[in-house]
A and B are shown apart, each in its own frame.
Chain A
Amino acid sequence: QDSVERIVEDAAMDLSLNPFSSGTRLRDMIRAIRASKTAAEERAVVRRECAAIRAAISDNDQDYRHRNMAKLMFIHMLGYPTHFGQMECLKLIAASGFPEKRIGYLGLTLLLDERQEVLMLVTNSLKQDLNHSNQFIVGLALCALGNICSAEMARDLAPEVERLLQTRDPNTKKKAALCSIRIVRKVPDLAENFMGSAASLLKEKHHGVLISVVQLCTELCKASREALEYLRKHSVEGLVRILRDVSNSSYAPEYDIAGITDPFLHIRVLRLMRTLGQGDADCSEHVNDILAQVATKTESNKNAGNAILYECVETIMGIEATSGLRVLAINILGRFLSNRDNNIRYVALNMLMKAMAVDTLAVQRHRVTILECVKDADVSIRKRALELVYLLVNDTNVKPLTKELVDYLEVSDDDFKEDLTAKICSIVEKFSQDKLWYLDQMFKVLTLTGNFVKDDVWHALIVLISNAPELQGYSVRSLYKALQASGTQESLVRVAVWCIGEYGEMLVNNISMLDVEEPITVTESDAVDALELALKRYSVDFPGDVTKLSEDTSNCCAE
């Protein structure tokens, strides 16, 4: 009797222990994993747990399915394989209760990706759940579909999602809108099915629905020319109204960020305006005033405001804007460039790169500040500024710009030297018509960071010297001096040794001196010593036979 009672009591205990909650067991697994001192220990814990889960799966255990799914997700996050658990997601999703579906759908989106065939098996459950009477279950299905569906599933379930766009519940509507985005990305042909609903949903008041629908409209325009034209015709007025209302809105605690009402809505509408106004004068005209309002009215002391201004400038530069509006945009850029916040400076440099296509002169005006950014403490900013400087180089400014860059080369960080060297060499080669200037820059760079100079660059240098007899004397003397001063950079040594080998006679006899030069005294033995020292230091391949070179030089000098 006792034992029967105890068995039933245990069973009751097990039931009440609640298969829905993770209970102490999930916690215990997590604790055990965290307590592992070595990777091997952790692997042992995981192996043990996976074995238990596999057993439960093959027993078709219902009670702990939920908890086991949670464990599987945790194990998966650590990076271990969990394919054996994929079917469990399906079983949970197919169950009737909300808690099972909740964790089942989560498991689905975490353990699987769209390329797995197992995913197709969920289509039926999804279809049922999209038609469920419980709005939260509909939401789970929309969320899962929106995160993970394949093109085939998108096609299958598009009609359900289209229908859900018309539902009354705003939570369902917004999820349906975002789900539609994924559907259209996977199957662009379906874009026209959604454009009517999307346009009419712009009349909604619920912000969640609005931001989702506006984003859907943007996506539709990208997917289909027809949708783009349709939305141009039917949504511009509505968009202007939405932006105006939210921009003029008084304090709304639910949506307030740094004193601005719903910056996210601002930004999405601005983005859609860009898509609609691009290459369309009519549409651009319609949005002109509201863009000016946002550009002048938005506070720029906090990130939220700057995020809006950034999007606004992007839109102004992307559409057929008036010159007045463009001036506004460039002014914002100018202010951004001097902002103390390095995020803003980084973003400004980005915008300026794009502005190059629209108004090069305006960007040139900021050249000095941009050059300062090449020396910024932040490597992301340095890189971006360097790219921009490269685009700004022209015949008029190439010499002062290059001088600044070469000066900076000396003090820059090692991890930036490679980029900087490459860019300088690239600039200098482009403007190498002034051969003397080109040589001077190359010699300086070889001296400072020759190790980063690519082979084809110093090969080109050698070719130029070979073909410029009037500059060979100058070259060999400059390189000799550089070698004496600091012969630590390998490429410098290579080029110098080649040059001395070829033109040693000019070196020793000060032949074809230029006006800018002062005579130097180099004896034959000086020259040979320099070569020998260099060769000793770098016993690597030299252009031409090494011993022959030094013999040649001695012979050359002796003649």
Chain B
Amino acid sequence: WILFQVHCHLIFLFFSASSQINFVLLISRQGKVRLTKWYSPYTQKERTKVIRELSGLILTRGPKLCNFVEWRGYKVVYRRYASLYFCMCIDADDNELEVLEIIHHFVEILDRYFGSVCELDLIFNFHKAYYVLDEILISGELQESSKKNVARLIAAQDSLVEAAKEEAGSISNIIAQATK
């Protein structure tokens, strides 16, 4: 009887092959939030609760334990890089090992972008970290497997911003000259 139940449950599991990441969370060792991106609907109140719960769960885990915690019927894959914990929440039957690679993919891209990224980079340039994340995930799905392409796209967009800055700067120069 147990096997029949398991059988039915598993057929459902096999069929619902998804890979969506429900949310991304970066927290410091002290539990400070450095980045959050939510791909499933969570209200502000729910988000605060989730962050508190997960911080409690993950920050207290010993270093030798596996990189997965079971939480509310989901799985949270996490890995610590220096003082930061990178966490991604997935469904119970998704491929945790792949998500570990996605986390590493994200970290390496950040590293190349900031030049040896550290926590301070992510604090003072948090909006840039988000721009990078948006070139890696959309709707919780992986968008680009080439780190080079991501870097190229970010650089191109940063250039657009620089160009607009310069244009504005040159207008103010004209005004400044005109008033001399």
Asked if B83 lies at the interface with its beta carbon under 8 angstroms from chain A, I say no
B165 touches A113 (CB 8 A): no
Query: How many residues of chain A get a CB closer than 8 Å to chain B's CBs?
Result: 95
B44 touches A81 (CB 8 A): yes
Could you list 22 A-B pairs, sorted by A, with CB under 8 Å? A8-B175, A98-B160, A99-B161, A102-B161, A103-B127, A106-B127, A115-B41, A143-B134, A175-B138, A178-B139, A178-B141, A207-B146, A208-B149, A211-B143, A222-B15, A254-B149, A262-B145, A264-B145, A307-B98, A346-B68, A360-B3, A391-B3
Binary B-proximity of A20-33 (CB < 8 A = 1, otherwise 0): 11100001001000
CB-nearest residue of chain A relative to B179? A8
A357 touches B65 (CB 8 A): no
CB-nearest residue of chain A relative to B127? A70
Cβ-neighbour of B97 out of A18, A274, A307, A381 (below 8 A): A307
- Interchain Cβ contacts within 8 Å, total number: 231
Dominant secondary structure at the B interface: helix
The size class of the interface chain B forms with chain A is 35 or more
9 tightest Cβ-Cβ pairs between the two chains A and B: A307-B97, A15-B172, A16-B172, A318-B14, A178-B138, A146-B138, A208-B144, A182-B139, A342-B66
Docked Cα-Cα span, A74 to B36, in Å, equals 11
User: Which of A265-273, A438-446, A514-522 contacts its partner?
Assistant: A265-273
Asked if A431 lies at the interface with its beta carbon under 8 angstroms from chain B, I say no
Cβ-neighbour of B7 out of A19, A136, A357 (below 8 A): A357
Q: Nearest chain B CB to A283's CB is how many angstroms away?
A: 14
Docked Cα-Cα span, A98 to B144, in Å, equals 22
In the complex, which residues of chain B have a beta carbon less than 8 angstroms from the beta carbon of A182? Answer: 138-139
Binary B-proximity of A112-137 (CB < 8 A = 1, otherwise 0): 01110000000000000000000010
In the complex, which residues of chain A have a beta carbon less than 8 angstroms from the beta carbon of B124? Answer: 27, 30
Binary B-proximity of A368-388 (CB < 8 A = 1, otherwise 0): 000000000111110100000
Asked if B82 lies at the interface with its beta carbon under 8 angstroms from chain A, I say no
Asked if B35 lies at the interface with its beta carbon under 8 angstroms from chain A, I say yes
B17 touches A271 (CB 8 A): yes
In the complex, which residues of chain B have a beta carbon less than 8 angstroms from the beta carbon of A343? Answer: 66-68, 96-97, 100
Cβ-neighbour of A147 out of B39, B146, B153, B164 (below 8 A): B39
Asked if A489 lies at the interface with its beta carbon under 8 angstroms from chain B, I say no
Dominant secondary structure at the A interface: helix
Binary A-proximity of B57-79 (CB < 8 A = 1, otherwise 0): 00000001111111000000000
Q: In the complex, which residues 123-142 of chain B have their Cβ closer than 8 Å to any Cβ of chain A?
A: 123-124, 126-127, 130-131, 134, 138-139, 141-142
Q: Nearest chain A CB to B162's CB is how many angstroms away?
A: 9
A267 touches B95 (CB 8 A): yes
Cβ-neighbour of A12 out of B19, B100, B102, B175 (below 8 A): B175
Docked Cα-Cα span, A379 to B44, in Å, equals 31
Asked if A317 lies at the interface with its beta carbon under 8 angstroms from chain B, I say yes
Asked if A9 lies at the interface with its beta carbon under 8 angstroms from chain B, I say yes
Asked if B10 lies at the interface with its beta carbon under 8 angstroms from chain A, I say yes
Q: Given A27-B124, A136-B160, A342-B66, A212 and B17 touching (CB < 8 A)?
A: no
Docked Cα-Cα span, A20 to B160, in Å, equals 11
In the complex, which residues of chain A have a beta carbon less than 8 angstroms from the beta carbon of B41? Answer: 113-115
B168 touches A20 (CB 8 A): yes
In the complex, which residues of chain B have a beta carbon less than 8 angstroms from the beta carbon of A342? Answer: 64-66
Q: Nearest chain B CB to A546's CB is how many angstroms away?
A: 41
CB-nearest residue of chain A relative to B160? A98
